[in-house]
A and B are shown apart, each in its own frame.
Chain A
Amino acid sequence: MSISTPGGPERRPTVVSTGKKPAAGRPASGAKAGTGKPAATPRAGGKGPRKPVTPVKVSQGRAWGPIALFVTVGVLAAGIIGYGAWASFQGSKPWDKKANAIDGIVNIRKTDKTSLEYESHKSGPLTYKYSPPVGGVHNAAWQNCMGDVYDAPIANEHAVHSLEHGAVWITYRPDLPKDQVEKLAGKVRGVEKMLMSPYEGLDKPISLQAWGYQLKVDNADDKRIDEFIKDLRVNASVEGPTALCNTGITATGTTPRELQQQPPTQ
């Protein structure tokens, strides 16, 4: 009250003078700021001359600060939440969607489903439609796929059984440079549901197989190799994530082996 009282008399001349000369409004508002009033009040006084318009203009001007703040915070929050949602959505995309997004992958589950169907295990040599094969009938024995790196070709009839159990089988042309072979082996060794072997007659230097999927690439540095492994290893299993890769055939040679008769331990 005591502040406003001196302000009052000061004010009256201000209003009067601004009514005549707009320029006089400015010193008046400067003087009023000195009285310690809320910042908005001087502004209202300053714009006094345009009386009917003043209230509207003032209210608009006053709201911009908070609006800008809220919009900024809102946009930031929406951006952060949106990115999080997008990232988690991408991360939780089903494996088959991710696999299908790999450039150049062949999805035989879609294009040729019947080639993967079979009744029961079949012994002896079998013929396959795709080279290297990606599924279908196979021997009772599977190729050991506990991160095994085979230095010689192996039997399709065993490897296909490994694919059924969720293994990714890397094959490469025997003339692939040694450093590239070593690069591929680095992705296999010690990793269950992985196996690798040279393969005669490949039309591309490297071919990757999972049950119903194939990807052929030219170079061991191709980034799609890691994508293929990440998306299809274990996931492509027909018999769930715990189908066996151990207790399989560990010998090489393209002729399928009959399981060795072992004397029962009991």
Chain B
Amino acid sequence: MTAPATTDTEHDDVVAAPDEGGRAPARRYGLAALAVMVVVGLLLGYAGGLLTPRLVRPGDSSVEAGFARDMTTHHAQAVEMSLIAYRSATLPEVRQIAVDIATGQQGEIGAMQTWLREWGLSPTGSKPPMSWMSDGATVKDGLMPGMATPQQMASLRDAKGIEVDRQFLKLMYDHHLGGIHMIDAALGETDHAEVVRVAQTMKNTQQTELNNLRQLQAQAKG
């Protein structure tokens, strides 16, 4: 109703009237369309920002998830043997390094479990342990590289006196060697910044501890 009215009225206004009557609504619709586009664009960007981390985070069969799960298992045994040594070892230096390893690795377990939860993954995997490692690490009787056998753990629990120190130092030395092997495999296959950062700290710490364990082995022999 208004459109013809306007045209009608301004028709006599020579060029101005029809020209203007045709432009004004178009411009209004243009502005509205622009506003809608901006809003839609912002919403799309927001949705993209929300979805991207979900789409790019490590998946269930990723190296990162495999490392987090298996290193948790690996660390858990180190915590157990370290706490045995903390309670029962003779040399104070051995008890000291043992409690440091126990709490440090328990802390790292916490970090790795948090990754899995943040990635929306289960702490338990459907694949056999170590299958994320491409260089074919050997799993013997369900044990990852460097892990103590049930017999070795039983022996450590039953040991008395300086024998606790000796067994612990040997077991933990091998444990760290296997752990570093796994960390190297993960570092070689992931570029996930947080995983790389934590894995690198783990590796540096365990390498220093290897030196300290070897030094204590010499001390415990005497």
Contact = CB atoms under 8 A, between A and B. Distances in A.
Contacts, number: 135
Contacts of B123: none
B24 interface: yes
Contacts of B161: 264
A178 interface: no
Interface residues of A, number: 46
A230 B86 CA distance: 32
B24 A266 contact: no
Interface string A166-190: 0000000000000000000000000
A121 B92 contact: no
Q: Which among B9, B31, B108 has the greatest number of chain A C-beta atoms within 10 A?
A: B9
A40 B198 CA distance: 67
Interface string A50-69: 01101100110011001000
B33 to A, nearest CB: 12
Given A15-B13, A244-B100, A40 B20 contact: yes
Contact of B8 (A8, A259, A262): A8
Contacts of B106: 242
A242 B97 contact: no
A4 B92 contact: no
B10 interface: yes
B16 A48 contact: yes
Nearest to B14: A51
A265 interface: yes
B27 interface: yes
Nearest to B108: A240
B99 interface: yes
A224 interface: no
Given A40-B24, A66-B31, A264-B90, A55 B16 contact: yes
Given A11-B9, A259-B96, A242 B88 contact: no
A102 interface: no
Given A41-B9, A58-B20, A259-B92, A242 B110 contact: yes
A207 to B, nearest CB: 26
A250 B198 CA distance: 30
Nearest to B32: A66
A266 B19 contact: no
B4 to A, nearest CB: 8
Contact of B5 (A3, A45, A247): A3
A119 interface: yes
A41 B23 CA distance: 13
B153 to A, nearest CB: 15
A62 B24 CA distance: 9
B104 interface: yes
B215 A120 contact: yes
A101 interface: no
B17 A44 contact: yes
Contact of B205 (A41, A238, A258): A238
A99 interface: no
A54 B108 CA distance: 75
Contacts of B110: 242
Interface in A18-72: 37-38, 40-41, 44-45, 48, 51-52, 54-55, 58-59, 62-63, 66, 70
9 contacts: A38-B2, A38-B24, A40-B20, A59-B23, A140-B93, A239-B100, A240-B108, A242-B103, A261-B90
Given A239-B104, A240-B108, A264-B89, 18 more contacts: A1-B4, A12-B12, A38-B2, A44-B10, A44-B17, A44-B20, A58-B16, A62-B27, A140-B93, A140-B96, A141-B93, A239-B100, A240-B107, A242-B104, A260-B92, A261-B92, A264-B161, A265-B88
List the 10 closest pairs (A to B, CB-CB), nearest first: A242-B107, A259-B92, A120-B211, A266-B88, A4-B5, A239-B205, A55-B19, A140-B93, A54-B16, A4-B9
